[in-house]
Amino acid sequence: MELPSREFDEKGKRKNKLNVSNRIRTAKYTPLSFIPKNLFEQFRNVANLYFLFLVILQCIPVFGVVQPAVSALPLIAILVITAIKDGIEDLKRNQSDNRVNNAKTLTLNNWKNVNMPDTTGGFFASFIGFFYVMAGIDNKYSLAYRTSLAKRKNKKNNNNSNKNERPRRGTEDKLPLTDLNLPSSSASSQHQLEHPLPAFHHRPMRNSSKFSLRSNTLRSMFRPPRKPYNPNKVRHSVLYRIDSTPAPSSRRGSTVHPALLPPIKTPLEGPLAANGDVAWEPTAWKNVNPGDYILIRNDEDVPADVVILSTSDPDHICYIETQNLDGETNLKVRQALVATSEISSVKDCQHAEFYIESEPPHVNLYQYSGVLKWQIQDQHSMNSEVAHEKTEAVTYNNILLRGCVVRNTEWVIGVVVYTGDDTKIMMNTGRTPSKRSKMAKKTNPHAIANFVILAIICIISSVMDSVLFRSEGSPRFFDFEISGTNGSYDGFMTFWVTLILYQNIVPISLYISVEIVKTFAAYFIYSDIDMYHAETDTPCVVKTWNISDDLGQIEYIFSDKTGTLTQNVMEFRKCTINGVKYGLGTTEASMGAKIREAVEKRQSKHQTDDGNAFYDNKDNDTKTLNNNDSTAVLDQAKREMYQKQAQLFTNNHVGPNPTFIDPKLYDDLADSDTDQASFVTHFFMTLALCHTVIAERPDEENQDRIEYKAQSPDEAALVATARDCGFVFVGREANTVHVQIKGEDKYFEILNVLEFNSTRKRMSVILKPHDSDKIILLCKGADSIIYERLCEEFGGQTELQKSQEELRESTSVHLEDFANEGLRTLCLSYRFISMEEYKPWNKRYLEASASIYNREEKIDEACEAIETNMLLMGGTAIEDRLQIGVPETIAELAKSGIKLWVLTGDKTETAINIGFACNLLSQDMDLVIVKGQTREETRAQLEEALRTTNTKDDRKRALVIDGTTLKYGLEPKTKNMVLTLGMRCNSVLCCRVSPKQKAQVVAMVKKGLKVMTLAIGDGANDVSMIQEANIGIGISGLEGRQAVMASDYAIAQFRYLHKLLLVHGRWSYIRTSEMIMGFFYKNIVWTFILFWYQIFCQFTGSMMFEYALVTLYNLVFTSLPIIFLGIWDQDLSAKISLMYPELYRMGLRNDMFKTWRFWLTMLDAIYQSAVCFFFPYMLLIGGGAYPIGLDQNGIYEFGTLVSSIAVWVANFFVAATLYSFTWLQVGIISLSILVYYAFVCIYAQFNTFIFAGHSRVFATGMYWLILILTIVACFIPRYIAMHLLHQYKPYDNDIVREIELVQKKNKKKSADKSSPIEDPSTHPDGEGMYGIKLQER
Amino acid sequence: MSDSGEVVKKKSRKPTDGAFRQQRLPAWQPVLTPRTALPTFFIIGILFTPIGGLLYWSNSRVVEIKLDYTNCYRYTEPVYLAKHQYTFQLSQELNTSSFEAPAYHYEEASTFLNPNWQNPNNLAIPQCIIDFTVPQTMTPPIFIYYRLTDFYQNHRQYINSFDAGQLLGDPLSPPGGNCGPLRTSDNGSSIYPCGLIANSMFNDTRSNLTSVNAATDMTYGFTTTGIAWPTDKDKYGPTRYTPDSVVPPPNWAQRYPEGRYDAAHPPPDLSQDESFMVWMRVAALPDFRKIWGRNDVEPLTEGRWRMRIDMNFNTTLYGGQKWVVISTSTPLGGYNPYLGITYMAIGGICLLLGMIFTIKHCIKPRSLGDTTYLSWNQPGGGLPNNKSRKPIVKSLHQD
């Protein structure tokens, strides 16, 4: 079919470029672009630019640098190290890209796709193409190059492939749809442009010349007369209806993990069989083009976004797993297009003629609209040109997205619509904004301070040089005016010379070293076995590597509740049916509620909520059960319950671990005459019918075992409980639901499923029992939503009205109770629909679902129309249990001084109960509840709350704030009030907040208080919050991967936060700050030694150290120990860090990285540099230091001597800073010093004129004496300061270290006395915190 | 995509346990307590003070004579040197004032003391004659040094002004080069040895010592061989220049006819000139001494000795001084009391600090692991108190 002319511009080229290759590139670099691009990236760093400038400066001969090449060494080393690091990172991405791109899938071969431009561009084009490919640019040249490559391969394999194909062709006779009119055109072989065409095709096949191919006919073929395939004369072409927007250029990693195509063991049969030359052939993913037919078999990955034409399933559905896209492991159903659902063979594909109008690619994963269009011609008057077009909507339900995996479906045939960067998954893998740690930001002023110091000493040098220019001294008389003609010029020159001389003051390697240190920190976090969750096989995954020190300074944690604090494992606990409550057992939250009651009784002033009345008349059963040993009672009840069930009917499908327990249910069911029995039956039938769950039988041997997979765990829990109670959802076939009600098989025809979404907050099914003509709508949803849509007009049925009103009353009371116990509630309702009402509605609904524009809204409107006038049945209550260790973790975090804000969608009461259950709220806290409905009310309440909390006492408070209130509270005027209130409270609970509000709250605290914030969540609704906070943490749990994708750290359980912050964060903070200080220190020492020397050389800028030593000092002689300090040092072991969570406050107060500490370090460094210079200087002012009298006072000898001392001192500094000495640390410090000596000794052998045999300096006794003396003298002030600080102003960790020391000694003593005195304060050994806590639970 | 045929066992992502990965390496964690800090001061003090004393004592065994002859050219008649112009360091307690002070004057000579130097231009050479008393017999090895003050051999451009290749014997490669302003002469011929360092070479020449007033005429010779480091000798070689292709540096020119080398006055063989090598090792400080000669064998007996020095090197131009230094040696080198003094000083300071801190600790002790010092046991709980937190709600505090 020709493409319509409107698709081309004047020059005959396609307007809409479709040749987006399916090749994806998440890698940043290609072999060709690596060097320029990486260099560009690196020189965006100002420090690197500065050093480049210095290198250039040193290349100017006038500044007298002898070996400019050496000067570039450090910079080159830094650039190379960084480039290697980037390269390795990128190589991994490249490899995974390649794996993805070269994964194989089956596409229809030997068949011309009109959507693709000609790619045969001749040698030149493929030559250019090579470079484009290397440069990672996708265009026609690169395409040409790839095609030419492929061709070459083809030629090579020609013979082989022919042979290989023969057996496949042999299977032709087994074709299920034996099409008769097939020409035996198999003779014509590989050429791409020759298609096996049937004898009677009408349109002339325009053979392709190079430049007209775009308008080439794909295939015009009339349907063979007896073809079972329905839509007449369907032509195939994919067009975009609207200009496809150019895809954004930067993209990041895809999560597609294709595996290799499984070897084909048996010849392809059935639809998979080849038809002539046209066959399904394995094609690399990268060669898949829009418009290609594609065949995906069971368990294969989908290589591109594909419209499903047909599937192997008789109902034309297929199942997919979308874990790569949204992390949901449950199966989802996708539907083939009706019009094409009969396509089942290669030939059908060949014959099909249709086109798909598709919307341009966009980001939304859950939306797609396109239209399938095909022409229908009158079958009998073939010649008449009368044709009309038929259309079918292509929706989200009809497409497979790249990254999905096909499951439980033998094969799927589809047409590719989006490839490569246009696919939804690629459009969704946006890069999270890059973050910089607080300390990195705070380092900058220090770096600037160093620049200022540099400027100062350069200016001093140059000014002094000018001043001394005319002074008495040898240069004037022996130097032949080499310094220039006048003092100012000389000073000017000296400025630049000293800039070179003092270059080390700006730590070139600081930035890369910090990166290295944090990379290691990330590695250690990743490999921490305490943060590994065995059940889900997930370690803590670090996604942002450079903010580990921020983990040690978090002041506010914002946490989601569901799935973060709770397990997101839904357990059906209770229900209310027709006003009767069922379900035994108690929840963690109801224990929390008890605590709360006690608190509330105590503080009468906070009696603000009206729900209190209900607490006093709590259910008896709950209360009595609470008092007893609940598990034993519950087991007993469970047994009783299933005995009763067995008496009534047999249920083979009871699941392994029922969560809903109440024997009373069967007592009520047994009285089949009562209303209650039928209510119960209807209630559970509704649960079994009203859902979108898929039933699976995982156990082949035990077919009775049914498991449910659903979009939401709540839904699965509901259906599973119905199953356990004897209302088994057996399965769904086409539109029929098969259920087993109390042992009886029943079938219902599903007319419509009105699906759940977050705006509707409800779902309904409309169904018709097979044995009746009634049409029933069953609906379940949030209580507020359902109550709004309940029947108001009873049309005189007063009895019904009365019972309904009572029911509503009691149900809402019960639901309130459930909510108070921390349960998630849903309401169930139903209505009967008359045929007269149903038919027009159904028409409207179908129209809405077929529309292309605003489909969602239209569907919602249609649904709204039918979901009214419903009658209430009852409600369900599901428990989402707290995760293991959550209360303990929250308590520990609270101790550490971190404030926790829980942002939840729950109702206030539920949230408070959960708050008590998880230690967020405690008995001794004053609850400040702010709940306003209007702006004014909010303001008044906030003011009131502020007044009451404005006391000086140290009372603990907790703020509970409602979503509506928060909406007004977050307005600019009242924002500060909320903030102040939040600050005065130890913990804050925000209820009923929307995702956007979560982010707003985080932003408010982050910007308002200028503190470090951490957000933790697991769902898509937490993404904005996670991205807003300084550190975002995703729980890699059950609810999808969006949160994890957006996060900086992904952990499996909330409790790991404990170790992540209190151990890794604290360590990282202390290490990084000590390390940065050390870096500045060692550079100052070195630079100032050179500066002191200027006093003795008239500030002419002479370098007393051999130049190689200057350039290598930072890089080789001193960097490793300080880096390894940053990697390994620990003030206290992990165990003790966890034992004293309060230690975290050191990071909160920023004890270690204070400005005064920086300046003290600088001062100390200057002092030490003076000692390092002037102590050895003493050797020069007397007689020679060498016993055999020879001179040893040469400039470079002195320089060698001083530099060795400086190296010692710089490395000793690390030793003085270290908290713990491991063999590694000691080894590396010694190694660094040894490397210095080795270097000097080796370098001295290369008899360069100025540096020959200088290693002999080390052979004199004087040298070692002065070395020891200098080192000791250097560290005396530091040691004094350390001693005094430690003794009279100790840091917390100093004290704790002392405590540990004392305990160790005591233990030793008691061991010696062999009388174990149990010190009450001794801490348990061996087991980590978690171990103990878990045992307690 | 899981393979249907074979069950691929998924690799567990469980991190490996181990002391390194779990950061549980055995470590020594010293805690800075008074019980460790205070003894450290005492230990350093106790170690350093005697070491310093020992060093000081050992150093005082050096005999060293220093004479400033800068102003010798002023006196044609012998004059005694002023007190500040000479020093004696003796290993014995001797009353230095009882000795006759050194005396000097100059005479004009027509030949250089350096036997290798001719005087084609018939310059009048001022020769300084110094008489000095050696108060006690000095034991070999004995070294003689010259000391220059205010001579900046460490000037940035000066130190680089030489050509290593030329010194090894190779001709200068034409363009570029290292010799700064003294690379070629005005007429374009290369200067040998080129560069500022060579040009400014200290060219005073000294004679051997001869005894004054002694019964027998004694001479005491210093040799100039063995005064350069062996490694330095490797840096020089006989030049391959023909004498007339190169010119001497400006300061050397007067020694050569018309300021040029010729066959009769060839360029010096630098590979044999150890004094030159010594000069080429640029000194670190503007006040330096360089070895002039040595005698490893004979003791220098006490008595009055005379030394003649050609005054070729003018230090008065730039206000510097030149000294001659004769010294014996110890295993720790020449006379340098400062190291010993510093050792003793540092040792003393440490002892003092140790005592102060001990007293302080006794008066105001802090028990080990005193939990009252923990920030969270103090008012406010040690929680950060940001400035930004206070003034947020001002308006509300009014009501």
- The rounded distance, in Å, linking the Cα atoms of A1281 and A1167 is 14
Residues in chain A within 8 Å Cβ distance of B343: 1265, 1269
Residue of B nearest to A1133 (CA): B24
Q: Are B281 and A1191 an interchain contact pair (Cβ–Cβ within 8 Å)?
A: yes
Q: Give me the residue from B283, B332, B384 closest to A1193, CB to CB.
A: B283
Predicted TM-score (pTM) of the model is: 0.77
- The rounded distance, in Å, linking the Cα atoms of A18 and A771 is 53
What are the backbone angles phi and psi of residue A752, rounded to the nearest 5°? -145, 150
Residues in chain B within 8 Å Cβ distance of A1280: 353
Higher pLDDT, residue A460 or A625: A460
Mean pLDDT computed over A771-788: 86
Q: Say if strands A707-709 and A727-733 run parallel, antiparallel, or are unpaired.
A: unpaired
What is the predicted pLDDT for the residue at A104? 81
Q: Are A1010 and B14 an interchain contact pair (Cβ–Cβ within 8 Å)?
A: no
Q: Are B332 and A897 an interchain contact pair (Cβ–Cβ within 8 Å)?
A: no
Quick check: B374 and A1142 in contact, CB under 8 A? yes
Kindly write down the DSSP assignment for every residue of A50-119, as one continuous string. HHHHHHHHHHSGGG--S-HHHHHHHHHHHHHHHHHHHHHHHHHHHHHHHHHHH-EEEEE-S---TTSPP-
Q: Could you give the angle at the alpha carbon of A307 between the alpha carbons of A301 and A310, nearest 5°?
A: 90
pLDDT at A629 over 80: no
- Of A264-273, A827-836, A1042-1051, B329-338, the range with the highest mean pLDDT is A827-836
To the nearest whole Å, the CA of B102 is away from the closest chain A CA by: 21
Q: Give me the residue from A481, A497, A1302 closest to B368, CB to CB.
A: A1302
How many Cα neighbours within 13 Å face the side chain of B229? 24
What is the predicted pLDDT for the residue at A178? 28
A606 confidence band (pLDDT: 50, 70, 90)? very low
Helix, coil or strand: residue A359: coil
Kindly write down the DSSP assignment for every residue of B75-144, as one continuous string. -SS-EEPPGGGEEEE-SS---GGGSPPPEEEEEEESS-SSTT---TT-PPEEEEEEEEEE-SPBPSSEEE
What is the predicted pLDDT for the residue at A1238? 93
CB atoms within 10 A of CB A847: 12
Mean pLDDT computed over A571-592: 81
What are the backbone angles phi and psi of residue A717, rounded to the nearest 5°? -65, -40
Specify which residues A1034 forms β-bridges with.
Answer: A1017, A1050
Residues in chain B within 8 Å Cβ distance of A1256: 229
Q: Are A1191 and B278 an interchain contact pair (Cβ–Cβ within 8 Å)?
A: yes
Mutation pick from A1190, A1255, A1296 vs chain B, by most beta carbons of B within 10 Å, is A1190
In this prediction, the residues of chain B whose per-residue pLDDT falls under 70 are 1-11, 173-177, 385-399
Question: pLDDT, tens digit, for every residue of A945-982?
Answer: 888 887 766 778 889 888 888 888 888 888 888 888 88
Specify which residues A413 forms β-bridges with.
Answer: A295, A310
Residues in chain A within 8 Å Cβ distance of B368: 1298-1299, 1301-1302
A113 confidence band (pLDDT: 50, 70, 90)? low
To the nearest whole Å, the CA of A495 is away from the closest chain B CA by: 13
Quick check: A570 and A879 in contact, CB under 8 A? yes
To the nearest whole Å, the CA of B318 is away from the closest chain A CA by: 5
> Which of A150, A126, A134 has the alpha carbon at shortest distance from A36?
A134
pLDDT at A594 over 80: no
- The rounded distance, in Å, linking the Cα atoms of A1193 and B105 is 31
- The rounded distance, in Å, linking the Cα atoms of A541 and A1048 is 8
Tell the residue number behind the tokens 């169930």, with chain if given: A828
Q: Could you tell me where the DSSP H helices lie in A781-885?
A: 783-788, 798-820, 835-850, 855-866
What is the predicted pLDDT for the residue at A134? 60
What is the predicted pLDDT for the residue at B10? 56
Q: Are B23 and A1134 an interchain contact pair (Cβ–Cβ within 8 Å)?
A: yes
Mean pLDDT computed over A248-257: 31
Lowest mean pLDDT among A110-119, A526-535, A710-719: A110-119
Mean pLDDT computed over A5-32: 60
Q: Are B346 and A1276 an interchain contact pair (Cβ–Cβ within 8 Å)?
A: yes
Helix, coil or strand: residue A678: helix
pLDDT at A126 over 80: no
Question: pLDDT, tens digit, for every residue of A1101-1135?
Answer: 888 888 888 888 888 899 899 999 999 999 999 99
Q: Could you tell me where the DSSP H helices lie in A671-730?
A: 675-689, 713-724
- Residue A4's identity, in one-letter code, is P
Q: Say if strands B79-80 and B103-109 run parallel, antiparallel, or are unpaired.
A: antiparallel
Q: Are B349 and A1276 an interchain contact pair (Cβ–Cβ within 8 Å)?
A: yes
- The rounded distance, in Å, linking the Cα atoms of A486 and A482 is 10
Residues in chain B within 8 Å Cβ distance of A1183: 62, 64, 289, 325, 327, 329, 333-336
Kindly write down the DSSP assignment for every residue of A12-34, as one continuous string. S-BSS-----S-----S--TTTH
Residues in chain A within 8 Å Cβ distance of B370: 1295, 1298
What are the backbone angles phi and psi of residue A802, rounded to the nearest 5°? -65, -45
What is the predicted pLDDT for the residue at A114? 62
Q: Are B396 and A1295 an interchain contact pair (Cβ–Cβ within 8 Å)?
A: no
Mean pLDDT computed over A1231-1250: 88
pLDDT at A1092 over 50: yes
To the nearest whole Å, the CA of A1189 is away from the closest chain B CA by: 6
Higher pLDDT, residue A1076 or A818: A1076
Beta strands in chain B (DSSP E): 64-68, 79-80, 86-89, 103-109, 125-134, 142-148, 190-191, 205-206, 209-212, 219-220, 246-247, 288-295, 303-310, 322-327
Higher pLDDT, residue B135 or A232: B135
The pLDDT mean for chain A works out to 76
Question: pLDDT, tens digit, for every residue of A1251-1291?
Answer: 877 788 888 888 899 999 999 999 999 999 999 998 888 98
Residue of B nearest to A981 (CA): B393
To the nearest whole Å, the CA of B16 is away from the closest chain A CA by: 7
To the nearest whole Å, the CA of A1270 is away from the closest chain B CA by: 10
Residues of A recognised as catalytic: 560
Q: Give me the residue from B13, B286, B396 closest to A946, CB to CB.
A: B396
Which residues of A are annotated as part of the binding site for ATP? 560-562, 715, 756, 780, 824, 904-906, 992, 998, 1021-1022
A171 confidence band (pLDDT: 50, 70, 90)? very low
Token representation of residue A392: 């079918």
Token representation of residue B263: 């066959």
Which residues of A are annotated as part of the binding site for Mg(2+)? 560, 562, 1018, 1022
Q: Give me the residue from B34, B235, B284 closest to A1249, CB to CB.
A: B235
Which residues of A are annotated as part of the binding site? 560-562, 715, 756, 780, 824, 904-906, 992, 998, 1018, 1021-1022
Residues in chain A within 8 Å Cβ distance of B27: 1130, 1220-1222
Kindly write down the DSSP assignment for every residue of A744-787, as one continuous string. EEEEEEEEEEE---TTT-EEEEEEEETT---EEEEEEE-HHHHH
- The rounded distance, in Å, linking the Cα atoms of A1318 and A1313 is 13
Question: pLDDT, tens digit, for every residue of A1128-1148?
Answer: 999 999 999 999 999 999 998
Question: pLDDT, tens digit, for every residue of A799-834?
Answer: 888 888 888 899 989 988 887 777 888 899 998 888
A1215 confidence band (pLDDT: 50, 70, 90)? very high
What is the predicted pLDDT for the residue at A758? 64
Token representation of residue A240: 């975009």
Lowest mean pLDDT among A137-141, A192-196, A1113-1117: A192-196
Q: Are B15 and A527 an interchain contact pair (Cβ–Cβ within 8 Å)?
A: yes
What is the predicted pLDDT for the residue at B326? 92
> Which of A714, A740, A702 has the alpha carbon at shortest distance from A825?
A714
Higher pLDDT, residue A605 or B222: B222
- The rounded distance, in Å, linking the Cα atoms of B249 and B252 is 5
Residues in chain A within 8 Å Cβ distance of B196: 478-480, 482
pLDDT at A108 over 90: no
Task: Please state, in angstroms and as integers, the Cα–Cα distance from residue A142 to each residue in A94, A124, A1322, B206, following that order.
Answer: 17, 11, 70, 83
Number of H-type helices and E-type strands within chain A: 43, 33
Q: Give me the residue from A1185, A1220, A1253 closest to B333, CB to CB.
A: A1185
pLDDT at A627 over 90: no
What is the predicted pLDDT for the residue at B397? 42
Q: Are A1142 and B374 an interchain contact pair (Cβ–Cβ within 8 Å)?
A: yes
To the nearest whole Å, the CA of A1179 is away from the closest chain B CA by: 7
Q: Give me the residue from A976, A1149, A1269 closest to B343, CB to CB.
A: A1269
What is the predicted pLDDT for the residue at A742? 84
Token representation of residue A903: 């942002």
ipTM of the complex: 0.92
pLDDT at A709 over 80: no
pLDDT at A186 over 50: no
- Compute the CA torsion angle A419, A421, A422, A425 (nearest 10 deg): 100
Quick check: A900 and A990 in contact, CB under 8 A? no
Quick check: A588 and A908 in contact, CB under 8 A? no
What are the backbone angles phi and psi of residue A365, rounded to the nearest 5°? -70, -25
What is the predicted pLDDT for the residue at B7? 42
Q: Which helix (H) or strand (E) holds A1013?
A: strand A1013-1017
Residues 6+ apart with CB under 8 A from A116: A18, A19, A289, A290, A291
A1091 confidence band (pLDDT: 50, 70, 90)? very high
Beta strands in A481-579 (DSSP E): 541-542, 556-560, 566-577
- Of A70-74, A434-438, A959-963, B377-381, the range with the highest mean pLDDT is A959-963
A605 confidence band (pLDDT: 50, 70, 90)? very low
What is the predicted pLDDT for the residue at A51? 80
Q: Give me the residue from A476, A528, A943 closest to B318, CB to CB.
A: A476
Q: Are B160 and A1142 an interchain contact pair (Cβ–Cβ within 8 Å)?
A: no
- Residue A530's identity, in one-letter code, is D
Lowest mean pLDDT among A10-14, A293-297, A833-837, B252-256: A10-14
What are the backbone angles phi and psi of residue B247, rounded to the nearest 5°? -120, 155
What is the predicted pLDDT for the residue at A330? 61
Mutation pick from A1103, A1191, A1309 vs chain B, by most beta carbons of B within 10 Å, is A1191
Handedness of CA A594, A595, A598, A603 (dihedral sign): negative
